[in-house]
């Protein structure tokens, strides 16, 4: 008789180990397993551990040459026994020579397989045949315990298999394929019990960051996450604004990162690993202390009417707070102004409402509005709030009289009314400042469109963010927008918001579907087939969002084989690996020349007249039957594009005396620009040509597009900058070599310190300018960083010039009170770098947080100009102008001071130095002062005039060569530097070592 016992052994200063004891004896041997607990283990007289727990695993009976073994009730045959001795598989006792296997038995693990079988054959299955065939298949799996099968409608079937032994997916795959062949079926299997999931056990805070992990001891090629909410089918989770899935990979581990645990993520989470049609899954609940993501507040009546024949003491009102009904019951504490408990008012208009009655006093006639706050508090004490400002109408206030169904409304306020059945939202009617009713605005939205809007909002978060759901959204949008002219303003706005939301969401989810692109184009075309509103400002806002959304979706939705899509108001052409893309769309001849591998050309009709028709502050007419053309280039990191459009139009007969502008729409700034675009008349056609433009003189020009007609300006800019950068590098190298020899006196040290910092700042600024030469190829963050770099280092260069001027003035005016080195260095670095930091920092914060204007222009990667004293460009112009004028004044003071005889009484070395400084100032002041004054002429002059063109060329040439002038004046033009450099060339080793040592020691001072 042989008994196999599993023991857990405790070893000092080590983890718990698992081992097996095999005890042999006759058939009458009685073994007490519990007696082994606490048994001391020794080896060669050395204590090695203690048995913490012993468990009976298996027993074998050996009679002559025949061995019969059986596992304990909590054990099952190990995988090695099952594979090598199939006669033992799923048997209680096994007559085979297996006692030598380790492990012989393993603990049982409950595993459940749920399968669906789709009948692909012509005949149905009988129940007996189904049971027999499926049972035979799964009897080949170790640990098979139970099978249950059932047939469903349509001749299909389902089965449930209970196992008690682990298995590898690769072992089950061939069995499922064989079963599919036998049944002529498609089979999908989901297994539970092998995959494990780790998630927070306790209720987590609202909007907290949470991580869920899932793992399996197997190798599978794909993984996915699902969430099941109360009474809803499972929804797949994809990447979005509030969640990321997958982690670094999903061979046997996958992670889900909740960036914000909001109410939508409260539910049952399921992770799935898959290989073909076999899935391994695990599930767990995540409980979130939810709060409403949005709170709607209303009052009844909408205005507190304190007018009337007599003086009213107060007005009684009912304040309501509405939220979307949570998927699970939630016990909120709802208060008004944190002291009044609100009462549940049921569900209506798709919202759960709470109400409370309040009294608004009328004695104080100076009160214009009463502010009230609705607060929701969850089980963790977190709060969500919303505010409502209730207008108070006093006897002296203007108002709009009641007109059924519109109530009496205070001037400059808006009355709202509920939408008819089948729609959600409201109808509003403004009352203007004079107490006159304005036109109604119907913001009611069809319930089906509203459901699509909700789906898009969830899609953006990552909830049901899959290509399949995206296809359903576009298909539904196509069907619901087909009504065309029957759409309300609310329907149009909701539909445009859906397109905009999907354009944003598709940056997270890859979409590649020709039918999806077709549904999207038809939906977008349907919107252009209907009128939007009579309010011009509202139409302009909608059209801006519409164009941005459509361009984004055209870029994000990939196509496979299609060459284009045509609808009544939109046509899309796709060109592959072709340098020139030619076509005639809506009677407009279009030619696109590009180096990109793929280009998409989108032409939209009935949109240009809805977009703002102003260019640089001037209103222009829209060409009859005008179109908007948008080109998207893909799969090209460095490409160029030139677009030519030919409009059939004779201005002499159609619109005599008009001025044409060929423009492109700047999406980030929501306005037209003529940058890089020109037009010409040719017969009865207007020819419009557009290309990209970047020029150095655009830094100072309020209208960079005016430079489009100046030939070779870009080439001059880049050649000059190349020379300047090389010259600055050479200058800095020379300064490092001769530093110790040319900075022996304080005056020389001050001068060269300023020059070196001017050179460094200019070098970095020039490099940043070249790096941002093609703004359309840069991301928003990279473009912003380039703008900050150029703004800071160009400004710092001027502040170091100011340091140089201050030093010269002090040395020449206060001859007998020389500056101490430590004082100058502290002052110089404070002015040179602290002042630019403050200038740039304050400018960025003001335009980013306070002003409605943007800090920078993404289409140019430079500061904004919006008019005289408007725009962030003035944060550069003002310090540059002040410092430039101070430099010119300093030069005059230096010249006057040098004429005084007291200067000749200074030390010989300083006298020579002063002469060198004077020479340098004479050269540097025009370069850093006078030439930048040319920039102000560029800023104020029309670049299309002859003088304007001349000034632009002069400014571009001289300022792009600034680095070269620094090299000439700072090195070549100074005798001491030339002499020391000659010494270094003659004896390079000793001089270089000494100069480095001197430079290092001077920097430490």
Q: Residues 600-622: what's their mean pLDDT?
A: 72
Would strands 441-442 and 426-430 be described as parallel, antiparallel, or unpaired?
antiparallel
Contact 278, 309 (CB under 8 A): no
Which pLDDT score, from 0 to 100, does residue 424 have?
87
Residue 251 has pLDDT above 50, yes or no: yes
- What are the pLDDT digits (tens) for 844-894? 888 877 776 778 877 778 888 766 677 788 888 888 888 888 877 877 776
Residues, the chain, total?
Answer: 1005
**pLDDT band of 340, cuts 50, 70, 90:** very high
675 CB neighbour count, 10 Å cutoff:
22
Measured distance CA(188)–CA(743) in Å, rounded: 83
Which pLDDT score, from 0 to 100, does residue 918 have?
59
630 CB neighbour count, 10 Å cutoff:
20
Of 126-135, 405-414, 598-607, the one with minimum mean pLDDT is: 598-607
Measured distance CA(566)–CA(560) in Å, rounded: 16
**pLDDT band of 1005, cuts 50, 70, 90:** very low
Measured distance CA(372)–CA(374) in Å, rounded: 7
**pLDDT band of 1003, cuts 50, 70, 90:** very low
Where residue 337 falls (left for φ over 0; alpha for ψ -120 to 50; beta otherwise) is: left
Instruction: Describe the crossing of helices 713-742 and 746-771 by its angle, rounded to 10 degrees.
Output: 150
Residue 399 has pLDDT above 90, yes or no: yes
Contact 27, 20 (CB under 8 A): no
Q: Which residues contact 301 (CB under 8 A, 6 or more apart)?
A: 317, 407
Which pLDDT score, from 0 to 100, does residue 867 have?
66
Which pLDDT score, from 0 to 100, does residue 108 have?
93
Measured distance CA(576)–CA(553) in Å, rounded: 18
Which pLDDT score, from 0 to 100, does residue 620 have?
53
Contact 511, 558 (CB under 8 A): yes
Contact 136, 146 (CB under 8 A): no
pTM metric for this prediction: 0.66
Q: What are phi and psi of 931, to 5 degrees?
A: -70, -35
- What are the pLDDT digits (tens) for 713-740? 777 788 888 888 999 999 899 888 888 8
**pLDDT band of 1004, cuts 50, 70, 90:** very low
- What are the pLDDT digits (tens) for 441-452? 888 998 999 999
Return the exposure string of 838-851: e unless at least 16 CB atoms fall within 10 Å of the residue's CB, then b.
Answer: ebbeebbeebeeee
- What are the pLDDT digits (tens) for 635-646? 545 556 677 878
Which pLDDT score, from 0 to 100, does residue 996 have?
44
β-bridge mates for residue 643, sequence order: 592, 690
448 CB neighbour count, 10 Å cutoff:
15
- What are the pLDDT digits (tens) for 214-239? 999 998 888 999 999 887 899 999 99
Whether residue 842 has a cis bond before it, omega within 30° of 0: no
pLDDT > 70 fraction of the chain, expressed in percent and rounded? 81
Residue 459 has pLDDT above 80, yes or no: yes
pLDDT higher at 280 or 514: 280
Contact 399, 431 (CB under 8 A): yes
- What are the pLDDT digits (tens) for 125-175? 988 999 999 999 999 999 999 999 998 877 899 999 999 999 999 999 999
Q: Which residues contact 141 (CB under 8 A, 6 or more apart)?
A: 161, 163, 165, 167, 171, 172, 175
- Residue ranges of alpha helices (H) inside 902-945 are 908-925, 931-940
Measured distance CA(48)–CA(45) in Å, rounded: 9
308 CB neighbour count, 10 Å cutoff:
10
Which pLDDT score, from 0 to 100, does residue 287 have?
93
- What are the pLDDT digits (tens) for 485-502? 578 888 999 999 999 999
DSSP letter, residue 818: P
Measured distance CA(19)–CA(51) in Å, rounded: 10
Mean pLDDT for all residues in the chain: 81
pLDDT > 90 fraction of the chain, expressed in percent and rounded? 35
**pLDDT band of 696, cuts 50, 70, 90:** very low
Measured distance CA(959)–CA(699) in Å, rounded: 11
pLDDT higher at 747 or 147: 147
Q: Residues 300-310: what's their mean pLDDT?
A: 80
Please name which of 968, 935, 929 lies closest in space to residue 952, comparing C-alpha atoms: 935
Of 77-81, 572-576, 612-616, 830-834, the one with minimum mean pLDDT is: 612-616
Contact 319, 358 (CB under 8 A): yes
Would strands 93-95 and 66-71 be described as parallel, antiparallel, or unpaired?
antiparallel
**pLDDT band of 63, cuts 50, 70, 90:** confident
């Amino acid at each position: 008789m042989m008994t196999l016992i599993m023991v857990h052994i405790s070893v000092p200063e080590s983890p718990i180990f698992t081992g097996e004891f095999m005890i042999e004896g006759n058939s009458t041997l009685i073994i007490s397993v519990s007696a082994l607990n606490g048994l001391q283990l020794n080896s060669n007289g050395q204590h090695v551990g203690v048995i913490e727990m012993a468990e009976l695993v298996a027993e074998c009976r050996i009679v002559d040459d025949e061995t019969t073994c059986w596992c304990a009730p909590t054990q099952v045959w190990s995988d090695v026994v099952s594979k090598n001795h199939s006669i033992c598989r799923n048997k209680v006792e096994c007559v085979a020579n297996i006692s030598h296997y380790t492990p012989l038995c393993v603990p049982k693990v409950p595993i459940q397989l749920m399968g669906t079988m789709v009948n692909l054959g012509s005949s149905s299955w009988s129940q007996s045949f189904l049971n027999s065939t499926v049972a035979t298949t799964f009897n080949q799996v170790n640990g098979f315990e139970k099978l249950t099968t059932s047939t469903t409608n349509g001749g299909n079937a389902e089965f449930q298999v209970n196992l008690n032994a682990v298995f590898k997916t690769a072992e089950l795959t061939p069995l499922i394929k064989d079963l599919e062949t036998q049944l002529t079926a498609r089979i999908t299997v989901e297994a539970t019990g092998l995959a494990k999931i780790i998630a927070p056990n306790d209720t987590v805070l609202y909007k907290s960051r949470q991580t869920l992990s899932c793992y399996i001891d197997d190798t599978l090629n794909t993984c996915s996450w699902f969430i099941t909410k109360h009474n809803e089918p499972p929804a797949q989770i994809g990447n979005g604004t509030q969640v990321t899935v997958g982690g670094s990979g999903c061979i046997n581990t996958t992670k889900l990162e909740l960036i914000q645990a909001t109410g939508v993520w409260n539910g049952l989470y399921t992770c799935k690993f898959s290989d073909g049609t076999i899935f391994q899954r695990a599930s767990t609940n995540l409980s979130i202390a939810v709060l409403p993501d949005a709170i709607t507040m209303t009052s009844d009546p909408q205005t507190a009417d304190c007018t009337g024949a007599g003086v009213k003491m107060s007005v009684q009102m009912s304040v309501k707070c509405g939220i979307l009904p949570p998927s699970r019951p939630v016990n909120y504490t709802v208060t008004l102004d944190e002291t009044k408990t609100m009462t549940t008012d049921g569900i209506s208009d798709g919202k759960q409402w709470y109400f409370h009655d309040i009294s608004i006093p009328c004695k104080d006639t100076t009160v214009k509005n009463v502010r009230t706050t609705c607060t929701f508090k969850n089980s963790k004490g977190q709060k969500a709030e919303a505010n409502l400002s209730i207008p108070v109408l006093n006897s002296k206030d203007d108002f709009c009289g009641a007109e059924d169904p519109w109530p009496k409304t205070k001037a400059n306020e808006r009355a709202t009314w509920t939408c008819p059945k089948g729609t959600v939202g409201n109808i509003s009617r403004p009352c203007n400042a004079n107490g006159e009713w304005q036109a109604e605005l119907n913001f009611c939205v069809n319930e089906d469109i509203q459901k699509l809007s909700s789906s898009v909002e969830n899609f953006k978060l990552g909830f049901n963010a899959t290509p399949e759901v995206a296809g359903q959204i576009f298909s539904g949008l196509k069907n619901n927008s087909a009504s065309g002219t029957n759409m309300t303003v609310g329907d149009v706005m909701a539909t445009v918001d859906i397109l905009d939301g999907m354009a944003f969401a598709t940056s997270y989810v890859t979409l590649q579907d020709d039918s999806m692109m077709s549904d999207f184009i038809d939906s977008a075309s349907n919107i252009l087939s209907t009128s939007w509103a009579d309010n011009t400002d509202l139409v302009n806002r909608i059209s801006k969002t519409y164009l941005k959304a459509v361009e984004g979706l055209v870029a994000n939705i990939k196509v496979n084989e299609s060459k284009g899509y045509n609808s009544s108001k939109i046509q899309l052409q796709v060109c592959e690996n072709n340098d020139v893309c030619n076509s005639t769309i809506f009677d407009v001849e279009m030619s696109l020349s590009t180096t990109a591998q793929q280009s998409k050309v989108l032409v939209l009709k009935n949109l240009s007249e809805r977009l703002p028709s102003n260019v640089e502050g001037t209103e222009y007419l829209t060409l009859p039957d005008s179109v908007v053309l948008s080109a998207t280039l893909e799969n090209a990191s460095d490409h160029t594009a030139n677009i030519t459009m030919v409009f059939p139009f004779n201005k002499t007969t159609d619109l005599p005396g008009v001025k044409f502008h060929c423009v492109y729409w700047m999406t980030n700034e929501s306005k037209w620009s003529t940058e890089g675009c020109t037009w010409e008349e040719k017969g009865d056609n207007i020819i419009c040509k557009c290309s990209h433009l970047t020029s150095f003189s655009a830094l100072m020009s309020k209208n960079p597009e005016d430079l489009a007609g100046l030939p070779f300006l870009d080439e001059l800019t880049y050649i000059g900058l190349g020379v300047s950068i090389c010259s600055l590098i050479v200058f800095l190298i020379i300064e490092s070599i001769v530093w110790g020899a040319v900075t022996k006196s304080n005056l020389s040290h001050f001068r060269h310190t300023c020059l070196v910092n001017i050179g460094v700042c200019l070098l970095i600024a020039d490099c940043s300018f070249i790096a941002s030469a093609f703004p359309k190829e840069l991301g928003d963050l990279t473009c912003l960083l380039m703008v900050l770099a150029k703004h800071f280092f160009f400004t710092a260069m001027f502040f170091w010039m100011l340091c140089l001027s201050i030093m010269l003035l002090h040395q020449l005016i206060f001859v007998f009170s020389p500056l101490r080195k430590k004082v100058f260095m502290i002052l110089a670095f404070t002015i040179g770098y602290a002042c630019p930091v403050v200038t740039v920092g304050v400018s960025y914060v003001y335009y980013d947080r306070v002003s409605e204007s943007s800090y920078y222009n993404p289409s140019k990667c430079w500061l904004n100009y919006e008019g005289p004293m408007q725009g962030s460009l003035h944060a550069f112009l003002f310090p540059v102008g002040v410092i430039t004028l101070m430099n010119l004044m300093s030069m005059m003071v230096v010249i006057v001071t040098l004429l005084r005889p007291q200067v000749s009484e200074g030390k010989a070395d300083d006298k020579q130095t002063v002469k060198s400084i004077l020479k340098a100032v004479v050269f540097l002041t025009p370069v850093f002062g006078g030439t930048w004054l040319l920039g102000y002429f560029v800023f104020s002059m029309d670049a299309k005039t002859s003088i304007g063109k001349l000034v632009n060329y002069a400014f571009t040439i001289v300022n792009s060569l600034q680095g070269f002038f620094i090299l000439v004046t700072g090195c070549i033009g100074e005798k001491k530097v030339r002499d020391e450099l000659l010494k270094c060339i003659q004896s390079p080793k000793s001089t270089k070592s000494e100069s480095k040592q001197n430079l290092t020691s001077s920097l430490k001072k």
